[in-house]
Amino acid sequence: MGTPHNNAPQGAFAKTVLMPGDPLRAKFIAETFLENAELVNNVRGVQGYTGTYKGVRVSVMASGMGGPSMAIYSHELFHFFGVENILRIGSAGAISPDLKLMDIVMAQGSCSDSNFAYQFGLNGNFAAIANYELLETAVAVAREKGVEPNVGNVFASDTFYNKSYSPMKWGEMGILATEMESYALYCNAAEAGKRALAICTISDSLVTGEQLSAEDRQLSFRNMMEIALEVAVRMDAK
């Protein structure tokens, strides 16, 4: 059974799905890391692939940009395709002066200016957090690779170009970085009783104005991808 946004047959997706924002990055991951990768969805050009990594079945599919797009795809994967774990892998902008370009951030929690959680009928503000088992596994994998991840809170904004305030104000509350997808993902995982984690690479800094070059972006994103793939392997064994 397909959905309006995903024409994959039942069983086409693995238990764990990696979700970059960019469909071309999903294609790159499938072609670079997965064996026998098969295109299982291409509705609206949002490419989804399933293959194997170290003998374990893993899927990768784009989320698109922003919370609403992530919300659609993660909801459908969790509710209609039997997916248990979604690992967002993408870029983020540093709003902490302690972060450098190419640093990896693992979002323990996600703040937002979005009204996304209103739909759940909660009489208050929902604290969107990562699944601890995924987070603990990802931290262990990163350290084994010689990468010390930055674990903490991120700010998921509904706007990329904001005319009223700067996300730097969130940095004063100890927020590490800003991106756009983690809050909707974490809310959907909580509602579905599933697991989610956002792993991001710092591609630019709102503190210093620095940005990664295309070459550095490819190298640093590869570290993030390999960490997420190894997490998928270890979660499959549990």
Q: What is the mean pLDDT of residues 108-117?
A: 93
pLDDT tens digits, residue range 203-227?
Answer: 999 899 898 887 777 666 899 999 9
Q: Sketch the domain layout of the chain as residue ranges.
A: 16-236
Q: Is the predicted pLDDT of residue 196 greater than 80, yes or no?
A: yes
Q: What is the pLDDT of residue 1?
A: 58
Residue 182 corresponds to which tokens in the numbers above? 């983690």
Q: Is the predicted pLDDT of residue 45 greater than 70, yes or no?
A: no
Write the CB contacts of 53 (distance below 8 Å, at least 6 apart in sequence).
33, 34, 35, 229, 232, 233
Q: Is the predicted pLDDT of residue 43 greater than 80, yes or no?
A: no
Q: Is the predicted pLDDT of residue 139 greater than 90, yes or no?
A: yes
Q: What is the pLDDT of residue 218?
A: 61
Q: Is the predicted pLDDT of residue 125 greater than 80, yes or no?
A: yes
Q: Are 90 and 200 in contact (CB under 8 A)?
A: yes
**Which of 36-50, 57-71, 177-191 comes out lowest in average pLDDT?**
36-50
Q: What is the pLDDT of residue 215?
A: 72
Q: What is the mean pLDDT of residues 17-44?
A: 89
Write the CB contacts of 52 (distance below 8 Å, at least 6 apart in sequence).
34, 35, 36, 58
Average pLDDT, the chain: 91
Composition of the chain by helix, strand, coil, percent to 5: 35, 30, 35
Write the CB contacts of 56 (distance below 8 Å, at least 6 apart in sequence).
14, 232, 233, 236
Burial 205-221, CB ≥16 within 10 A → b, else e: bbeeeeebeeeebeebb
- Look at the domain 16-236 and name its fold: Rossmann fold (3.40.50)
How sure is the predictor about 79, in pLDDT bands with cuts at 50, 70 and 90?
very high
22, 158, 204, 216: the catalytic one is 204
Q: What is the pLDDT of residue 183?
A: 96
Q: What is the pLDDT of residue 83?
A: 95
Residue 103 is a catalytic residue: no
Write the CB contacts of 124 (distance below 8 Å, at least 6 apart in sequence).
none
Q: Which residues pair with 58 in a beta bridge?
A: 51
Q: What is the pLDDT of residue 70?
A: 95
Residue 201 and residue 40: Cα distance in Å, rounded?
27
